[in-house]
């Protein structure tokens, strides 16, 4: 797998907080099964070529992952998302957000310069994502810095309703992963904003600090459901104070479906223009009349904050012009 693709794959929501593995690294062929040996060395003691492992050792990686063990890897490269390595034939990726002391860089040139400084260094990490059929091998230095007991204590302290601060560690099509200081939670895409979110990257970015609220926690599987939007003002609670039937509003088309189109009239607040309220002119589908991103002027037909309903019409505006 090409190294640059690793940071853009959809992560698997793991049941443990583990680390991210990098590319082009290998460990000694002897593996000590003793529980009191927390570190697996990436470097061959015999001094042989570290690329000697040609067959990916998924079985060993899976064993270490399940035991929540740490491994040592040598950084061999980087891309804009983080660091690369190869451990026992497994190309791995370590997101910059999973490094202990990664500086905040606003310029991509400075970010790449900072990542380049890690090449050749040995790091102690844990596997946080492992999925053979997608060749997914992700590591974390942060996860290696917290013990299993510390993670358990943290999980026992967290409860629904808690407001916590965390760092965005990864983005996926379905949501955002947030490091809460040793355990990871998920903000589902529907909990990022009161408005429609097509891409989580439009709302947050890796490495960003966030305040979140805990919705649900499953301690056995170590899954934590989080929300960002519930700490933001809910525009539906006061919509009836700001919008009345017959009122004229401006909006931006955000989505088009067979039954109509949605227009955002303010941040986090969308109204539906039913297909019957688009125009009296003949058309086959709303796509023939409207485009996403188009500015429109509409009339308010109905407002219902409790049902999260805002009905709009373009026909009334067109008729009056």
Q: pLDDT tens-digit profile of 77-133?
A: 999 888 999 998 899 999 887 888 787 777 888 889 999 999 999 999 999 888 888
CATH number of 154's domain: 2.40.50.140
How many other C-beta atoms can be found within 10 angstroms of the C-beta atom of residue 89?
17
**Same-domain check for residues 219 and 303:** no
Domain boundary residue, one of 93, 112, 144: 144
The CA distances from residue 188 to 61, 69, 129, 176, in Å, are 28, 29, 18, 7
pLDDT of residue 135: 85
Distance CA 162, CA 155 (A): 12
Distance CA 163, CA 25 (A): 39
pLDDT band for 5, please (50, 70, 90 cuts).
Answer: very low
**Same-domain check for residues 127 and 7:** yes
**Same-domain check for residues 105 and 184:** no
Mean pLDDT to the nearest integer, 49-63: 70
**Same-domain check for residues 203 and 249:** no
Instruction: Indicate if the pLDDT at residue 317 is higher than 60.
Output: no
**Same-domain check for residues 316 and 277:** yes
**Same-domain check for residues 8 and 136:** yes
pLDDT of residue 38: 34
Work out whether strand 269-274 and strand 309-313 pair parallel, antiparallel, or are unpaired: parallel
| Host domain of residue 308 | 235-320
User: Are 236 and 243 within 8 A, CB to CB?
Assistant: no
Long-range contact set of residues 175-179: C-beta below 8 Å, sequence gap at least 24: 175/200, 176/200, 176/203, 176/204, 176/228, 177/11, 177/13, 178/210, 178/212, 178/226, 179/17, 179/97, 179/98, 179/142
pLDDT of residue 316: 62
**Same-domain check for residues 224 and 280:** no
Return the top range by mean pLDDT from 125-129, 138-142, 257-261.
257-261
Up-side HSE of residue 47: CA atoms within 13 Å toward CB? 0
**Same-domain check for residues 100 and 178:** no
How many other C-beta atoms can be found within 10 angstroms of the C-beta atom of residue 10?
13
pLDDT of residue 319: 53
Domain boundary residue, one of 231, 262, 286: 231
Is the whole-model pTM more than 0.75?
Answer: no
Residue carrying the six token digits 């989505």: 255
User: Are 112 and 78 within 8 A, CB to CB?
Assistant: yes
**Same-domain check for residues 181 and 154:** yes
Distance CA 181, CA 168 (A): 11
Domain boundary residue, one of 144, 179, 205: 144
Of 180, 157, 150, 151, nearest to 167 by C-alpha is 180
Percent helix, strand and coil across the chain, each to the nearest 5: 25, 35, 40
**Same-domain check for residues 30 and 129:** yes
List CB contacts of 286: < 8 A, sequence separation 6 or more.
256, 257, 258, 260, 261, 275, 278
pLDDT band for 34, please (50, 70, 90 cuts).
Answer: very low
Instruction: Indicate if the pLDDT at residue 45 is higher than 70.
Output: no
Tally of structural domains, the chain = 3
Of 12, 11, 13, nearest to 223 by C-alpha is 13
User: Are 77 and 3 within 8 A, CB to CB?
Assistant: yes
pLDDT of residue 275: 95
**Same-domain check for residues 248 and 197:** no
**Same-domain check for residues 215 and 272:** no
């Amino acid at each position: 797998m090409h190294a640059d693709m690793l940071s853009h794959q959809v992560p698997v929501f793991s049941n443990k907080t583990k680390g991210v593995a990098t590319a082009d690294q290998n460990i000694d062929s002897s593996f000590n099964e003793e529980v009191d040996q927390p570190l697996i060395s990436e470097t061959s003691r015999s001094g042989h070529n570290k690329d000697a492992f040609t067959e990916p050792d998924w079985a060993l990686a899976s064993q270490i992952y399940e035991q929540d063990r740490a491994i040592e890897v040598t950084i061999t490269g980087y891309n804009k998302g983080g660091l690369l390595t190869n451990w026992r034939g497994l190309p791995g990726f370590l997101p910059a957000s999973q490094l202990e002391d990664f500086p905040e860089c606003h310029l991509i040139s400075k970010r790449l310069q900072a990542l380049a400084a890690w090449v050749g260094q040995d790091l102690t990490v844990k596997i946080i994502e492992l999925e053979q059929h997608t060749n997914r091998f992700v590591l974390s230095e942060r996860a290696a810095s917290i013990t299993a007991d510390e993670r358990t204590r943290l999980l026992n302290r967290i409860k629904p309703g808690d407001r916590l601060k965390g760092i965005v560690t990864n983005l996926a099509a379905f949501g955002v992963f947030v490091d809460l200081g040793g355990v990871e939670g998920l903000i589902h895409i529907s909990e990022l904003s009161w408005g429609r979110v097509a891409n989580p990257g439009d709302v947050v970015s890796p490495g960003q600090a966030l305040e979140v609220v805990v919705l649900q926690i499953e301690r056995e599987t170590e899954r934590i459901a989080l929300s960002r939007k519930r700490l933001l003002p809910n525009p539906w609670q006061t919509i009836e104070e700001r919008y009345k039937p017959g009122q004229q509003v401006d909006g931006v088309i955000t989505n088009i479906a067979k039954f109509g189109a949605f227009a955002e009239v303010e941040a986090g607040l969308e109204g539906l223009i039913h297909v019957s309220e688009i125009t009296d002119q003949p058309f086959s589908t709303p796509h023939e009349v409207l485009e996403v991103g188009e500015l429109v002027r509409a009339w308010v037909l109905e407002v219902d904050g409790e049902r999260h309903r805002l009905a709009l019409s373009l026909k009334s505006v067109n008729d009056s012009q």
